[in-house]
Amino acid sequence: MSEFWEMSATELARRVRAREVSSREVVEACLRRIDEVNPQVNAVTVVLAEEAVRAADAADRALRSGAETGPLCGVPMTVKENVDVAGSATTFGIVPLRDAIAAGDAPHIAQLRAAGAIPIGRTNMPEFGMRWHTDNDLRGATRNPWSAAHTPGASSGGDAVAVATGMAPLGIGNDGGGSLRWPAQCCGVTALRPSLGRVPQVGRDRARQPTPFAFQLMAVHGPIARKVEDLRLALASMCGDAGGDPWYAPAPLEGPPVGHPVRVCLATDPDGPDLHPGLAEALRQAADRLTDASYVVEERPAPALTRAGEIYHQIMSAYGRVHDEQPPVELVASAGFVRFWAEFEPHWTRAAGRSTFDPMMERAEIARAWILWMSETPLVLAPICTGPAFPVGSDLDAGWLASWPAAIRMAVAVNLLGLPAVAVPIGEADGLPQGVQIIGPRFREDLCLDAAAAIEARVTPLTPLDPR
């Protein structure tokens, strides 16, 4: 029989509810796994051992008494350090916020707790969530368990590594520019970027800093897991309360039926760089798996993709700050981040392209083009990035960074348009995991999850794994 730390969230929840195993046994198994592997990968930054054991004991008492329990009863989860967890610091990966203790949970964390999930640890991220490699002066670098020489991705890199190595079956991060999907690709796990408005971004606490418009529009909270069914279970438990989010929309989790067979567009980027051979093969295999599951897959270019990437960068540049005057980055960030931004800023600026009179007006035109495109093929099969996990240090090289905005363009177009997407692993090439994303119409996470599950059922699981 599998060890508890190897099991999916869905399987653990079933066993705990059936009282085949106690919640405390599950939590203690994950704590032992953290002790065993985290020193090698540095993914979990703060272990919430005492709180987790207390919550597990409370869950076990409730089960013994016959009380109603939630669908995630007894399931451990990790939480990224830019999400509020009561009594724990929300650091954003920077030293000045090391003692920024949250007074309460973010709305979706409160809902996950109410569903029975148990926070077991906080997870690492790059400073401000603004690099695609997980490293900072506060916690240090996180290692990819597949290869120490390659990035684990970012900015939800700590959660991806924790889930991939079995330290928790579920991780909670966020995605403002591929930050769930990219580390999922790098680590061989699955992740869900929900639609804009599906999961509340902010709570009712008026004392918190306001959220910049760019992040209101393009960043969302979502889960990372080893199984697609766990993403579905987590989503259902984290999107039922608006909190204080004016973008929140209580849309049903299951949409109306679509025509069968479901048509899928294998999206291409005519202006983009060539796909790495491993990613090209992963896309071909994913298309074959969907065809085997009775989907109809056809290849076509994504509309206005280059311009979508440019508008994304324009909105982030103009509306991604809390204050008009920002403190010098050298005062709050590490030398590594300062170097990264100095090298990347010219390429970031160039990626914005021709300045638009009104970015939201142009965004609406791009969104209309995608709506028309997806009315014919409701799902889109696409790369997350055009290459696999890059060697550590690549994102400090100006020459390498020049190609990055185009490499990640398909991912950021999803953020610009507020669409749902599921990252799903396909296989392994040259010792690194390969993954793709399934993109759907807004609020049709169900279609994305169905297609991702069809792929997952036809490939060999890549995780959990021991660090190599």
Q: Is 94 helix (H, G, I), strand (E, B) or coil?
A: coil
How many Cβ atoms sit within 10 Å of the Cβ of residue 14? 15
Which residues have a Cβ under 8 Å from the Cβ of 390 and sit 6 or more positions away?
A: 132, 133, 150, 151, 400
**pTM, rounded to two decimals:** 0.97
Measure the CA–CA gap between 338 and 332, rounded to whole angstroms: 10
Which residues have a Cβ under 8 Å from the Cβ of 151 and sit 6 or more positions away?
A: 132, 133, 134, 144, 157, 186, 389, 390, 391, 392, 394, 395
CA dist 87 to 80, 106, 122, 204, 393, Å? 14, 12, 12, 17, 34
Joined tokens for residue 375? 């009315």
Measure the CA–CA gap between 20 and 1, rounded to whole angstroms: 13
What's the DSSP call for residue 173?
A: E
Length of the chain: 468
CA dist 398 to 333, 343, 401, 402, 411, Å? 19, 5, 5, 6, 21
For residue 212, whether the previous peptide bond is cis, meaning omega lies within 30 degrees of 0, is: no
Question: How much is the pLDDT for 208?
Answer: 65
Sign of CA dihedral 278, 167, 148, 89: positive
Which residue in the block uniquely carries the two structure tokens 């638009």? Answer: 356
457 contacts 426 by C-beta, under 8 angstroms: no
Active site residue 155: yes
For residue 194, whether the previous peptide bond is cis, meaning omega lies within 30 degrees of 0, is: no
CA dist 272 to 284, 306, 417, Å? 18, 8, 19
CA dist 396 to 132, 185, 277, 340, 432, Å? 11, 21, 24, 5, 21
220 contacts 180 by C-beta, under 8 angstroms: no
Q: Per residue of the chain (468 residues), give pLDDT as tens.
A: 579 999 999 999 999 999 999 999 999 999 999 999 999 999 999 999 999 999 999 999 999 999 999 999 999 999 999 999 999 999 999 999 999 999 999 999 999 999 999 999 999 999 999 999 999 999 999 999 999 999 999 999 999 999 999 999 999 999 999 999 999 999 999 999 999 999 998 877 655 678 999 999 999 999 999 999 999 999 999 998 878 899 999 999 999 999 899 999 999 898 889 999 999 999 999 999 999 999 999 999 999 999 999 999 999 999 998 877 777 888 888 999 999 999 999 999 999 999 999 999 999 999 999 999 999 999 999 999 999 999 999 999 999 999 999 999 999 999 999 999 999 999 999 999 999 999 999 999 999 999 999 999 999 999 999 999
Point out the catalytic residue in the list 156, 179, 237, 334.
179
Which residues have a Cβ under 8 Å from the Cβ of 48 and sit 6 or more positions away?
A: 85, 88, 119, 120, 121, 122
Strand partners, 174: 221
Report, at the CATH architecture level, how domain 4-456 is classified.
Alpha-Beta Complex (3.90)
Instruction: Tell which phi-psi region holds residue 291, choosing left (phi > 0), alpha (psi between -120 and 50) or beta.
Output: alpha
How many Cβ atoms sit within 10 Å of the Cβ of residue 375? 9
Instruction: Give which of 231, 129, 141, 247 is closest to 182, Cα–Cα.
Output: 129
Which residues have a Cβ under 8 Å from the Cβ of 12 and sit 6 or more positions away?
A: 4, 21, 26, 74, 75, 169
17 contacts 69 by C-beta, under 8 angstroms: yes
Point out the catalytic residue in the list 155, 156, 237, 334.
155
Domain ranges of the chain: 4-456
Instruction: Tell which phi-psi region holds residue 399, choosing left (phi > 0), alpha (psi between -120 and 50) or beta.
Output: alpha
Which residue in the block uniquely carries the two structure tokens 């507020």? Answer: 418
Active site residue 22: no
Joined tokens for residue 434? 């390969």
Active site residue 227: no
Point out the catalytic residue in the list 80, 195, 227, 334.
80
Question: How much is the pLDDT for 207?
Answer: 54
Helix, strand, coil % (nearest 5) of the chain?
40, 15, 45
